[in-house]
């Protein structure tokens, strides 16, 4: 073997990261700026760039360069991650990669039409094929316990069904009775949330809230898109979007805080990791600084829910919101607003769900996905299985498949195994938050004064700066001293709703925790 220059691995990793960042930029443009006519050529551009990134990753010279890396722990970790990604990609036959890519773009159009026409039968053949290809993908990637492990590890490295299922069961046995107890109580008024809120003022208020948490506009920007998202080109260029509805105030407000949480993570990644493997998801061919989907989601939910929906936050900031919308909020006070934006109300649509019922939507999807992957459930049986579970957990009748099994884009995009990361994110958010409070005893007093810097700095030091250096379970271990643990999350939810809904604290403690 010929001598490989020591910086060869970094040079090649930098080129791959450049391509992934350009892919992100084209995707950002497609979702925020591109005229509708640009779609088909853009798909080809994305496919070409993806293929180039994949070629560079699978270039035998890159593997050799990675194998010869020596140096500090960070460089060794980067090389190991590259080698793992190369090995995973090599296990997947080219034929399967091509078929999946083709089906993903076809199936999304078929799904969109089927959803618009409320016609599950029109989507079923494409979905059946997608399930079959994902089962092949799981077999090709390999797994020890359950085929679902291979797929969920694409999004949450190291997460297994053996860990996930008991955790979800624990959450479900907590959430469902708590939901029933909440439903038996009088509901807060929310009428004022659907008054007319002019878009320009919503935008200004959302942006001010993002900056209050520390979103740096010198390295960021806020645009509008149909589905809000955050995307990073590197830590110096981290963009978010929001969706403004003039007849619904919480959408843009909390949507922006959610994406701000994602953005704080990316802006907090150490600049030293730019153009490295440690800001690249090499298996997913995506430039991202966060350790995993679940870890990322823990930060969006921490800032949106733990901080942005807290009583302390609204006690401090409601007056400014009222100043922006004096007519709309003239008959509302901070406590009333806080109760309204924390209202629990079972709904058919996941993306409209409140904090408590959201997890139930996730559990339903995870359960169905796992059964599809083992063949225990056929695609034809999906709508009935879906509707039965919605009835059982949420007490709702699904009127049609557009409001049921057809609502999410995920299955048409081939994203089997990604749903658990939303709930894992909720669980991790509470673990990280509890760890921050242990480490910084004055944290809650600071938050009550509107000082968000100390929390952000603790998260940056312990989580953000590391990028993808550590796997999610390593980050948890380093910051909390243990693995995934739902207890802090359950205590948070029970405590919060006991207070908001006047539930009997002694009963809650005995029954739910
Ligand atoms: Zn998110």
Is 259 known to be catalytic? yes
> What letters, b where the CB count within 10 A reaches 16 and e where it falls short, cover 290-300?
bbbbbbbbbbb
Q: What pLDDT, in 10s, does the model give residues 454-479? A: 999 999 999 999 999 999 999 999 99
- In this structure, what token pair is assigned to residue 343? 């209202």
Q: What pLDDT, in 10s, does the model give residues 253-269? A: 999 999 999 999 999 99
Can you tell me whether residue 227 is helix, strand or coil? coil
Q: What pLDDT, in 10s, does the model give residues 384-439? A: 999 999 999 999 999 999 999 999 999 999 999 999 999 999 999 999 999 999 99
CA 421 to ligand 1 center in whole angstroms: 10
Q: What pLDDT, in 10s, does the model give residues 290-309? A: 999 999 999 999 999 999 99
Both ends of the chain: CA-CA distance in Å? 60
Distance from C-alpha of 269 to C-alpha of 347, rounded to nearest angstrom: 36
- The whole-number average pLDDT for the span 437-458 is 98
- In this structure, what token pair is assigned to residue 366? 């995870």
pLDDT at 105 over 90: no
pLDDT for 2 equals: 46
Q: Give the confidence band of 504 by pLDDT, cuts at 50, 70, 90.
A: confident
pLDDT for 335 equals: 98
pLDDT at 4 over 60: no
CA 185 to ligand 1 center in whole angstroms: 30
Query: Which residues hold their Cβ within 5 A of ligand 1, which is an ion?
Result: 300
Q: Which residue has the higher pLDDT, 122 or 506?
A: 122
- The whole-number average pLDDT for the span 128-145 is 97
Outline where DSSP puts E strands in 445-510: none
Domains and CATH numbers, the chain: 8-119 (no CATH), 161-512 (1.10.1370.30)
For the entire predicted model, the pTM comes to 0.96
Can you tell me whether residue 283 is helix, strand or coil? coil
pLDDT for 508 equals: 66
CA 296 to ligand 1 center in whole angstroms: 7
> What letters, b where the CB count within 10 A reaches 16 and e where it falls short, cover 350-372?
beebbbbbbbbbbbbbbbbbbbb
pLDDT at 40 over 90: no
Give the residue ranges of DSSP H helices in 142-248: 147-152, 161-183, 199-212
Q: What pLDDT, in 10s, does the model give residues 230-253? A: 999 999 999 999 999 999 999 999
Cβ neighbors of 113 (< 8 A, separation 6 or more) are 119, 122
Q: Give the confidence band of 506 by pLDDT, cuts at 50, 70, 90.
A: low
Of 156, 230, 259, 355, which one is the catalytic site residue?
A: 259
CA 60 to ligand 1 center in whole angstroms: 36
pLDDT at 102 over 70: yes
Q: In angstroms, what CA-CA distances link 217 with 212, 214, 373, 401?
A: 11, 9, 43, 41
Taking the CA atoms of residue 63, residue 64, residue 67 and residue 69 in that order, the dihedral angle to the nearest 10 degrees is: -110
Distance from C-alpha of 177 to C-alpha of 179, rounded to nearest angstrom: 5
Distance from C-alpha of 304 to C-alpha of 320, rounded to nearest angstrom: 18
Distance from C-alpha of 317 to C-alpha of 178, rounded to nearest angstrom: 29
Q: In angstroms, what CA-CA distances link 402 with 77, 118, 207, 324?
A: 45, 5, 33, 36
Q: What pLDDT, in 10s, does the model give residues 184-236? A: 999 999 999 999 999 999 999 999 999 999 999 999 999 999 999 999 999 99
pLDDT for 220 equals: 98
pLDDT for 512 equals: 60
Mean pLDDT for all residues in the chain: 95
pLDDT for 9 equals: 97
pLDDT at 1 over 50: no
CA 258 to ligand 1 center in whole angstroms: 6
Partners of 242 in beta bridges: 224
pLDDT for 422 equals: 97
- In this structure, what token pair is assigned to residue 326? 């004096």
CA 93 to ligand 1 center in whole angstroms: 31
Distance from C-alpha of 228 to C-alpha of 251, rounded to nearest angstrom: 10
CA 238 to ligand 1 center in whole angstroms: 14
pLDDT at 75 over 80: yes
């Amino acid at each position: 073997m010929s001598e490989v220059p020591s910086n060869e691995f970094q040079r090649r990793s930098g080129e791959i990261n450049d391509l992934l960042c350009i892919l992100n930029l084209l995707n950002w443009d497609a979702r925020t700026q591109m005229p509708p006519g640009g779609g088909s050529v853009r798909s080809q551009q994305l496919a070409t760039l993806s293929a180039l990134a994949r070629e560079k990753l699978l270039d035998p010279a890159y593997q050799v360069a990675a194998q010869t890396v020596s140096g500090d722990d960070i460089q060794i970790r980067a090389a190991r991650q590259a080698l793992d990604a190369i090995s995973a990609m090599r296990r997947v036959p080219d034929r399967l990669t091509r078929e999946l890519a083709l089906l993903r773009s076809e199936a999304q159009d078929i799904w969109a039409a089927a959803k618009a026409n409320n016609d599950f039968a029109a989507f079923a053949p494409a979905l059946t094929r997608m399930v079959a290809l994902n089962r092949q993908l799981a077999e090709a990637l390999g797994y020890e316990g359950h085929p679902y492990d291979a797929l969920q590890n694409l999004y949450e490295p190291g997460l297994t069904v053996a860990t996930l299922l008991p955790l979800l069961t624990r959450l479900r046995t907590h959430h469902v009775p708590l939901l029933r107890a909440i439903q038996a109580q009088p509901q807060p008024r929310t009428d004022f949330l659907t008054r007319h809120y002019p878009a320009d003022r919503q935008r200004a208020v959302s942006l001010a809230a993002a900056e209050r948490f520390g979103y740096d506009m010198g390295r960021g920007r806020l645009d509008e898109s149909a589905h809000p998202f955050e995307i990073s080109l590197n830590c110096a260029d981290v963009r978010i979007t929001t969706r403004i509805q003039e007849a619904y105030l919480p959408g843009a407000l909390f949507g922006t805080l959610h994406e701000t949480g994602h953005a704080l993570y990316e802006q907090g990644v150490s600049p030293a990791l730019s153009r490295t493997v440690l800001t690249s998801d090499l298996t997913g061919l995506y430039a991202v600084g966060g350790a995993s989907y679940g870890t990322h989601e823990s930060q969006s939910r921490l800032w949106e829910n733990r901080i942005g929906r807290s009583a302390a936050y609204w006690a401090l900031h409601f007056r400014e919101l009222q100043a922006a919308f004096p007519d709309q909020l003239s008959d509302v006070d901070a406590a009333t607003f806080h109760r309204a934006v924390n209202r629990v109300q079972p709904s058919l649509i996941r993306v409209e769900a409140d904090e408590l019922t959201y997890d139930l939507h996730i559990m339903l999807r995870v359960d169905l996905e796992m059964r599809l992957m083992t063949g225990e459930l056929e695609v034809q049986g999906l709508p009935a299985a879906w509707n039965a579970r919605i009835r059982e957990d949420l007490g709702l009748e699904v009127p049609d498949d557009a409001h049921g099994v057809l609502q999410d884009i995920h299955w048409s995009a081939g994203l089997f195994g990604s749903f658990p990361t939303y709930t894992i994110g909720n669980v991790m958010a509470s673990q990280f938050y509890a760890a921050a409070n242990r480490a910084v005893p004055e944290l809650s007093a600071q938050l009550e004064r509107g000082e968000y810097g100390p929390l952000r700095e603790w998260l940056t030091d312990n989580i953000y700066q590391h990028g993808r250096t550590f796997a999610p379970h390593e980050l948890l271990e380093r910051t909390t001293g243990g693995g995934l643990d739902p207890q802090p999350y359950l205590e948070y939810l029970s405590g919060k709703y006991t207070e908001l809904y006047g539930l009997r604290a002694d009963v809650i403690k005995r029954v739910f925790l």
